[in-house]
Amino acid sequence: MSHRRTRESLIGTWKLVTAVNEDLATRATTDFLGPHPIGYMHYSRDGRVMVINVQGDRAKPSGSSPTPREASTLFHSMLAYGGDYTIEGNEITHHVDISWNEVWTGSKQIQTFRFEGDRVHLSTKPSPDPASGRTCTRTMTWEKLK
């Protein structure tokens, strides 16, 4: 697929279907945002991307404002960022300029992509899992909204 066709195929809003972490040593897989993740990713014509993902089973705070423990749990069960994107071959790079976690701000999130009908699969290169430190790949499957 040409660069132009790839870019045109990505333009629009995508809904998260699955978020799978694969441990490369054991080949074990886990749903890192739970079995029913919720998320949206939007690619715009002007070269911007915005992403927000949460675990599907997040608990609401017990009061009108979360306790420190509830706030920590909510923070650790989501991710959100925005920035520019570039495409080269079968890789897309999200150049993060705003993020829920300042560790990501200024970073480049590089993923390979593969289209399958109305879905796109974005996979990280092997890297340490943020939770376990083990070498893993993370694949998120998205379905284009119509």
Q: Helix, strand or coil for residue 5?
A: helix
Encode pLDDT of 108-145 as tens digits. 999 999 999 999 999 999 988 777 788 999 999 999 99
How many domains does the structure of the chain reveal?
Answer: 1
**What is the spatial distance between Cα 123 and Cα 105, in angstroms, rounded to a whole number?**
20
Q: Which residues pair with 18 in a beta bridge?
A: 141
Check residue 36 and give left, alpha or beta (phi > 0: left; psi -120 to 50: alpha).
Answer: beta
Question: Please, what is the Cα angle at 39 between 79 and 62, to 5 degrees?
Answer: 70
CA of residue 146 relative to chain centroid, distance: 20
Encode pLDDT of 39-60 as tens digits. 999 999 999 999 999 999 999 9
Kindly report the CATH number assigned to the domain that includes residue 127: 2.40.128.280
**What is the spatial distance between Cα 123 and Cα 114, in angstroms, rounded to a whole number?**
9
Residue type present at position 42? H
Range of the structural domain that residue 46 is part of: 3-144
Q: Which residues contact 142 (CB under 8 A, 6 or more apart)?
A: 14, 15, 16, 17, 41, 119, 120, 121, 122
Encode pLDDT of 3-37 as tens digits. 788 888 999 999 999 999 999 999 999 998 999 99
pTM of the model: 0.90
